[in-house]
Amino acid sequence: MKCSFCDYTGPAMTMCDQAGKPVNVCPECQNPIAPKIRPWERLGITRARYLGTQPWKKARMSREAFETQIAFVPLEAIDLLRREAEANMLIAAMGLE
C-alpha cells in the first residue's frame, strides 16, 4: 500500500483503533492508510461506463490527473452532486423548468 502522508510504499501494519476495529496504518508515520477506491466506484458508475464516457477528457485533464483529483473529493460531496443532477434531470423530464 502507499501512504499519502509520507510516500511510503510497502506492506501496511494492522493496528486497532479506539473502538477496537482493525485499521491499516503506515509503519513509518503511523497514519491510517485507506483502501483505494477505484474512480468509477467513487462516481457510482460501472467501469465500462467510466471508460466509455472518459470524464477526464471532458474535464480537459489527463486520466492520471483526473483520478488523483477525484480521490480527494469526499464521497459525501460526490453523492450530493449526483443527487442534485438526478433531481435536475427529473425536473427537466417533467417539463417543470
Per-residue pLDDT tens listing for the chain (97 residues): 677 777 777 777 777 777 777 777 888 887 777 667 889 998 989 999 999 999 999 999 999 999 888 888 888 899 999 999 999 999 999 988 7
Residues 63 and 28 occupy one common structural domain: no
Residues 61 and 95 occupy one common structural domain: yes
What is the extent of the structural domain holding 55? 39-97
Residues 57 and 21 occupy one common structural domain: no
Residue linked to cell 499519502? 4
Residues 66 and 93 occupy one common structural domain: yes
Estimate the share of the chain in helix, then strand, then coil, as percent rounded to the nearest 5: 45, 10, 40
- Which amino acid type is present at position 74? P
Contact between 33 and 5 under an 8 Å Cβ cutoff? The reply is no
Residues 13 and 51 occupy one common structural domain: no
Contact between 42 and 78 under an 8 Å Cβ cutoff? The reply is yes
Contact between 13 and 25 under an 8 Å Cβ cutoff? The reply is yes
Residues 62 and 95 occupy one common structural domain: yes
* Grid coordinates belonging to 92: 427537466
pLDDT at 1: 67
